[in-house]
Amino acid sequence: MGKDESSLVELLLEAGISRSAIEAAWPKWWTDEAAQSPSGRAELRFAIARRLGLEPKPLLGERVEFVWNDEALFKNLSAKDELQKGALTSFGMSIGGVLLRTLHTPHTTIDTAEQLRGAILAKNEFVDLRTLIATCWAIGIPVIYLRVFPLEAKSMHAMAVRIGDRYAILLGRNALYPAPVAFTLAHELGHIVLRHLADAPALVDLEDPARAKGDDEQENEADRFALTLLTGSSQPLIETNVDRFNAPTLARSALTAAKEYAIEPGTLALCLAYQRNAWPAAMAAMRFIYSEQKPTWKEVNGIAHGEINWEALGDGSAYYLEEVMTGNDG
Q: Which residue has the higher pLDDT, 36 or 160?
A: 160
pTM of the model: 0.90
- What CA–CA distance (Å, rounded) separates 262 from 245? 23
| DSSP secondary structure letters along 259-324 | HHHT--HHHHHHHHHHHHT-HHHHHHHHHHHSSS---HHHHHHHHHHHHS-GGGS-HHHHHHHHHH
Instruction: Provide the residue ranges of all domains of the chain, joining segments of one domain with +.
Output: 3-60, 73-232+295-329, 236-292
Instruction: Give the model's pLDDT for residue 104.
Output: 75
Round the CA-based radius of gyration of the chain to a whole number and report it: 21
Instruction: Say whether pLDDT at 213 is over 90.
Output: no
Q: Which residue has the higher pLDDT, 112 or 327?
A: 112
Across the range 292-308, mean pLDDT stands at: 90
List beta partners, residue 161: 168, 202
User: Which pLDDT band holds residue 195 (cuts at 50, 70, 90)?
Assistant: very high
